[in-house]
Amino acid sequence: MTRLISAILTAACLSMGGGPLSAQDFQQGVLQSQVLMIDSDRFFSDSAFGKRVSAEVEAEGANIAAENRRIEAELTDEEKALTDKRPTLPATEFRALADAFDEKVQTLRREQDAKARALGQRGDEARRRFLLAARPVLGDLMRDAGALIILERRGVFLASDAIDITDEAIAKIDAALGDGSDLTPPEE
């Protein structure tokens, strides 16, 4: 359905004179087009905000991975010690220790999985906050160009690169937000 809508919009744009852009499509160096296009992934990832969030998520992910390796090494040592005790313990006592060890492993796994999910959610939330903060900047770009719509580049079959505002949008969002570290995080 989304592809059909994109195809219809692209066809409509081409029928409105969507051929190659000419000098008259620019006023005072500003693109004038009813249709603009943006690569929203690159808009986020190449912005100062996106780079900061990516670095934070990557660093926290590395911390979680290091913690996982440390936990794994500790559990391996604990499992070996438990296995070494097996011949000297009554079966019921060993079973109780083995069950407690298994429960510990499962609990740690759930905790580490929860940390990884929370990290992913934090990244997703940061992207939502970025896009919300970017709306006025994109609105200004639309107004300056006389645009009616900004299409997502991935959903467009064929278009002139001249209507791609990704680089300009990145420059303007960086000027408006910087790395976004001073944005108030959402209430939890």
Q: What is the pLDDT of residue 152?
A: 94
pLDDT digit string (tens) for 32-71?
889 999 999 999 999 999 999 999 999 999 999 999 999 9
Whether residue 163 is predicted with pLDDT greater than 80 in this model: the reply is yes
pLDDT digit string (tens) for 8-37?
444 444 444 444 444 445 555 667 889 999
Q: Where does residue 56 rank: exposed (0-12), middle (13-18), buried (19+ CB within 10 A)?
A: middle
Q: What is the pLDDT of residue 17?
A: 44
E strand intervals along 39-172:
149-152
Q: Which helix (H) or strand (E) holds 73?
A: helix 48-85
Whether residue 96 is predicted with pLDDT greater than 60 in this model: the reply is yes
pLDDT digit string (tens) for 169-187?
999 999 999 999 887 665 5
CA angle, 174 as apex, 173 and 179 as ends, to 5°? 115
Query: 64-94 burial, b for 16+ CB within 10 Å, e for fewer?
Result: eeeeeeeeeeeeeeeeeeeeeeeeeeeeeeb
Q: Which helix (H) or strand (E) holds 91?
A: helix 91-145
C-alpha span between 85 and 81 (Å, rounded): 6
pLDDT digit string (tens) for 103-131?
999 999 999 999 999 999 999 999 999 99
Collapsing DSSP states into helix, strand and coil, what is residue 152? strand
Whether residue 167 is predicted with pLDDT greater than 50 in this model: the reply is yes
Pairing of strands 149-152, 30-31: unpaired
Domain ranges of the chain: 2-177
pTM over the 0.85 mark: no
